[in-house]
Amino acid sequence: MAKYSAKEIAIWFLRENRIIKDDFDADSISNLKLQKLLYYAQGCYLAITNEPLFDEDLLAWKHGPVVNEVYQIYKKYGSEGIPDNQLEHVNIDPQTTGILKQVYSAFGQYSAWGLRNMTHGEMPWNSTNLNDVISLSKIKEYFKENYIE
Contact by Cβ (8 Å): 90, 8: yes
Domain count, the chain: 1
60 has which bridge partners?
65
Check residue 24 and give its pLDDT.
79
Q: How many residues does the chain have?
A: 149
Q: Range of 86's domain?
A: 6-146
pTM of the model: 0.96
Residue 106 lies in a domain: yes
Q: What percent of the chain has pLDDT over 70?
A: 100
Domain-located, residue 1: no
Asked if the model's pLDDT at residue 11 lies above 90, the reply is yes
Per-residue confidence band for 59, with pLDDT thresholds at 50, 70 and 90: very high
Instruction: Using alpha carbons, list the distances in angstroms from residue 132 to 2, 24, 26, 57.
Output: 21, 38, 33, 9
| 61 assigned to some structural domain | yes
d(CA 125, CA 133): 9
pLDDT of residue 23: 78
